[in-house]
Structure 1
Amino acid sequence: MKNIFEIPRNAKIAIVVIIDAALHFISTWLAYTLRWEKIHIPSTNLEYLVFFVPVVFLLFIFSYFKLYKSLFRYLDLNASIGILKALAIYFIFYAIFIFTLNANYSFFTPNPLFPGMPRIIVIIYPLFLFLFIIGSRFLISYIFFLFKNYKSKDINLKKVLIYGAGNFGARYLGILRNTFRYEIRGFLDDDKKLNQKFLNGVKIFDLKNIDQLINDLQIDEVFLAINNIGRKKKIDIKNKFQSLNVKLRFVPDLDDLLQEDTSIIPTSQPDILDLLKRRQINPNQNLIKKNIFDKVVFVSGAGGSIGSELCNQIIKQIPKKLIILDHSEFSIHQINEKLNIFIKKNNLKTNLIPVLGNLLDKNLIKKIFNEYKVDTIYHAAAYKHVSLVEENPVSSVKNNVIGTLNLTKEAKINNVKTFVLISSDKAINPTNIMGASKRLCEMIVQAFSIKNINGINKEQNFCSVRFGNVLNSSGSVVPIFSKQISSGGPVTVRHKNVSRYFMTIPEASELVIQAGALSSGGEIFILDMGKAIKIYELATHMIELSGLTVKNATNPYGDIEILITKLKDGEKLEEELPNKLIMQKTLHERINKTSEEFIDEKNIETIINNLISLFDQNDKIGLINLFKKYIKGYKPEPYKK
Structure 2
Amino acid sequence: MRGFQLEPSDAPRGAIRDHPVALKRVLHYRTRSLDQPNWCDTKNMLSYLSHLSSLGRRKKIAIQILVDTTLVVVCFLAAMVIRLESFNFLTDLKIWPPVLISATLTITKLWFDGLYRALVRFVTGKVLVAILQGVATFSIALFITSNVLSAGIPRSVPVISGILLFLAISSLRFGARHLFRTPMQVAKKPVVIYGAGSAGLELLNSLFHGRDYAPIAFIDDDRQFHGLTISGYRVYPPSEIPRLGRDFGVEVVLLAMPKLSHSRRREIFASLEQTNLEIKTIPALSDVISGKAKLSELRNVSAEDLLGRDAIAPNEKMLKRNIEGKCVMVTGAGGSIGSELCRQILLQKPKTLILYDISEYALYSIEGELQNIRDQSDVSARIVPVMGSVQRASRLKSTIEEHAVETIYHAAAYKHVPLVEENIVEGVLNNVFGTFAVASAAHELGVGSFILVSTDKAVRPTNVMGATKRIAELICQSFAEKKTATIFSMVRFGNVLGSSGSVIPRFRKQIEEGGPITVTHREINRYFMTIPEAAQLVIQAGAMAKGGDVFVLDMGEAVRIADLAVTMVKLHGLTPYFVDSPAEIRHGVGDIPICFTGLRKGEKLYEELLIGSNPKATEHPRILTAEEVSMKPDELSLALDDLSRACQANDLSQVRRILLELPLQYAPSEP
Structure 2 stretches lacking a partner, 5+ long:
1-11, 32-40, 42-188, 194-203, 220-227, 283-297, 580-585
CA shift for structure 1 position 297 = 0.5
Q: In structure 2, how many angstroms separate the alpha carbons of the residues matched to 1:592 and 1:233? A: 28
- Distance, in Å, in 1 between the alignment partners of 2:210 and 2:518 is 32
Q: Deviations over 1:418-466 (max 9, x none)?
A: 1000111111110000000001111111110003xxxx55x42101111
Residue 619 of structure 1: how far off its partner (Å) = 1.3
After TM superposition, give the deviation of residue 209 of structure 1 in Å: 7.6
Q: Does 1:536 align with 2:562?
A: yes
Q: Secondary structure at the match of 1:582?
A: coil
Corresponding residue for residue 430 of structure 2? 399
Give the structure-1-normalised TM-score: 0.65
CA distance in 2, matches of 1:633, 1:432: 11
Partner of 2:216: 187
Residue pair 1:431, 1:634 contacting (<8 A) in 2 also = yes
Structure 1 counterpart SS, 2:235: coil
Deviation string, structure 1 residues 149-205 (Cα, Å, up to 9, x no partner): xxxxxxxxxx986556945886458xxxxxxxxxxxx9336995875xxxxxxxxx6
User: Percent same amino acid among aligned pairs?
Assistant: 38
Alignment match, 2:258: 231
AA aligned to 2:416 is H
Query: CA, structure 1 residues 357+241, in 2 after alignment: closer, same or farther (shift >3 Å)?
Result: closer
Distance 1:365 1:510, change over 3 A: same
Q: Would the alpha carbon gap of residues 194 and 213 (structure 1) be closer, same or farther in structure 2, given more than 3 Å must change?
A: farther
The letter of the residue matching 2:443 is K
Q: Who is 2:3 aligned against?
A: none
More off after superposition, 583-592 vs 497-506 = 583-592
Spell out, residue by residue over 1:109-131, the C-alpha distance to the aligned partner (whole angstroms, 9 max, x if none): xxxxxxxxxxxxxxxxxxxxxxx
Residue 161 of structure 1 contacts residue 219 of structure 1 at CA under 8 Å; is this kept in 2? no
Please state if 1:297 is matched with 2:328.
yes
Q: Which amino acid aligns with 1:206?
A: R
Q: Distance in 2 between matches of 1:242 and 1:608?
A: 51
Cα distance per residue 1:470-502 (max 9 Å; x no partner)? 111002101111111222222111000001111
In the alignment of these two chains, the number of paired residues is 461
Contact 2:409/2:452 (CA < 8 Å) preserved in 1?
A: yes
Does the 8 Å contact 1:297/1:323 carry over to 2? yes
The DSSP-based 3-state class of the residue aligned with 1:449 is helix
Give distance in 2, aligned partners of 1:415 and 1:188: 64
* Residue pairs, 1:323-472, within 5 angstroms: 323-451=354-482, 456-457=483-484, 459-472=485-498
Q: In the alignment, is residue 306 of structure 1 matched against residue 337 of structure 2?
A: yes
Match of 1:516 in 2: 542
Residues 282 and 223 (structure 1), Cα distance of their counterparts in 2 relative to 1, 3 Å cut: farther
Secondary structure class of the residue paired with 1:503: strand
The corresponding residue for 1:288 is: 319
**Separation of aligned partners in 2, 1:611 and 1:221:** 65
Query: What is the TM-score of this pair, normalised by structure 2?
Result: 0.62
- Asked whether the 8 Å contact 2:450–2:487 carries over to 1, the reply is yes
Q: Does 1:593 align with 2:625?
A: yes
Return closer, same or farther for 1:557/1:189 CA change in 2, 3 Å cut-off. farther
- Give the letter for the 2:503 counterpart: V
**Residue in 2 aligned with 1:559?**
591
Residues 580-626 of structure 1: CA deviation (Å, up to 9, x unaligned): 63212111111111112222222222112111211121111111111
Deviates most, 366-375 or 497-506: 366-375
| SS of match in other structure, 1:281 | coil
Distance in 1 of aligned mates of 2:559 and 2:641? 40
Call closer, same or farther: CA 1:209–1:362 in 2, change over 3 Å: closer
* 1:231 partner SS: coil
Is 1:549 aligned with 2:549?
Answer: no
Contact 2:463 2:602 in 1 (8 A): yes
* Distance (whole Å) between structure 1 residues aligned to residue 617 and residue 441 of structure 2: 31
Counterpart Cα distance in 2 of 1:585 and 1:535: 29
Q: 1:234 to 1:293 in 2, by over 3 A?
A: closer
The aligned amino acid for 2:617 is: K
Q: Does 1:250 align with 2:265?
A: no
Instruction: Tell me the equivalent position of 2:518.
Output: 492
Partners of 2:534 and 2:611 lie apart in 1 by 22
Alpha-carbon distance, 1:243 to partner: 6.1
Q: Does 1:504 align with 2:536?
A: no
Alignment deviations for residues 515-563 of structure 1 (CA, whole Å, 9 cap, x no partner): 1011000011111101111110111122223333223599954322211
Q: Give the letter aligned to residue 387 of structure 2.
A: L
- When residues 381 and 212 of structure 1 are mapped into structure 2, their CA distance, relative to the original with a 3 A threshold, is closer
- What are the ranges of 5 or more consecutive residues in structure 1 without an aligned counterpart? 13-69, 78-158, 174-185, 196-204, 254-266
The one-letter amino acid paired with 1:250 is I
**CA RMSD of superposed structures (Å):** 3.8
Which among 625, 633, 637 is matched to residue 605 of structure 1?
637
Q: Which residue of 1 aligns with 2:616?
A: 584
1:493 and 1:565 in contact (8 A); partners too? yes
Larger Rg, first or second structure (1 or 2): 2
Instruction: Please give the alpha-carbon distance, in whole angstroms, between the structure 1 residues aligned to 2:390 and 2:615.
Output: 32
